[in-house]
Amino acid sequence: MCTCIAMKTRDVYFGRTLDLQYRFGEKVAVTPRNYPFTLRSGETFDTWYAMVGMARVEQDYPLYAEATNEKGLSMAGLYFPGNAVYGPPVPGKRNLATYELIPWAMGNFASLEDLRRELEQVHLTNEPFSRTAGASPLHWMASDGTNSLVVEQTASGLHLYDNPAGVLTNNPEFPYHTTHLNSYLNLTSRPPQNRFCRGLDLKAFGNGMGAIGLPGDDSPPSRFVRACFTKWNSQCDSDDASSVAQFFHILDSVSIVRGAALMEDNQCNVTNYACCVNATRGVYYYKTYSNNQLTAVRMTDANKNGSELAVYELEERQQVRFMN
């Protein structure tokens, strides 16, 4: 369970909540330019572009949950169980393991248009990174600030969907979510008008009543609707501080509180972290469930031109600024 959004004010922003019942050893990782990757197919490539995002790092390999490159292209993987279908390598296709998709995309492409052209030849394989890191069932959202794209591989093959909403959650498949939005076209952020009955003098008795019916549960379809409504009705100044604050407010509307969404084994699905990257400036902001003060990692020239991964441990302890 996760929610991803893309937003543009003066700069381009991209981020997500990461909702899981466990931690996966995540850290903020910056991959430099010219960093070598070896694919399961035997091919190798060196990154053209540096990238920053949240990853588990194993054997100097960043297993990114999401990342943004120095050109402002971003991509995030979200849980997609039961629908994601991967298979063995297919001759004539660009075969990529699921964990290879984000570094390959972020390391090689500067725009969504260029990425989409190459994605049409991609086949996602079921090859795991290791025995302890299998092929997670995922789908992905990519964005460059102008457009967004959803990537899903199901039993019927690889599908690329334009995503004008700039929002993605989890199951079902993406076309369902866009159709489901039509059920809420009557909602408004403005005071509602009386359409119930001409013969009755009905008036709103409180603010926000135009959005009565907006789903408040934590299911993927409800979070998709709520994130779309909140994002597309949000208003903020265009400076970076205001935009980052607004972005996290939008994510807060779909964050999962510990105990509110239990798994079948009674484990708590919870928002382990939320992130927002200024894709224009290469600054990655995040907060964790245990520390809601924002922490930031810049993609510096030293990071971009380095020869090794730059890895930053998360600030997990609650930070408080005392005023007296």
Q: Quick one: tokens of 25?
A: 């050893």
* Per annotation, catalytic residue among 2, 4, 228, 276: 2
Torsion of CA 41, 42, 48, 53, to 10 degrees: 60
Give the three-state DSSP class for 270. strand
Residue of 26, 35, 24 lying closest to 309 (CA atoms): 35
Identify the helix (H) or strand (E) that includes residue 202.
Answer: none
Query: Is 236 labeled as catalytic in the residue annotation?
Result: no
Distance CA 276, CA 24 (A): 19
Q: Are 228 and 167 in contact (CB under 8 A)?
A: yes
Distance CA 174, CA 179 (A): 9
Distance CA 38, CA 44 (A): 4
Q: What is the DSSP string of 117-159?
A: HHHTTEEEE---SBTTB----EEEEEE-SS-EEEEEEETTEEE
Helices and strands (H, E) in the chain, number of each type: 6, 18
Beta bridge partners of 99: none
Active site residues: 2
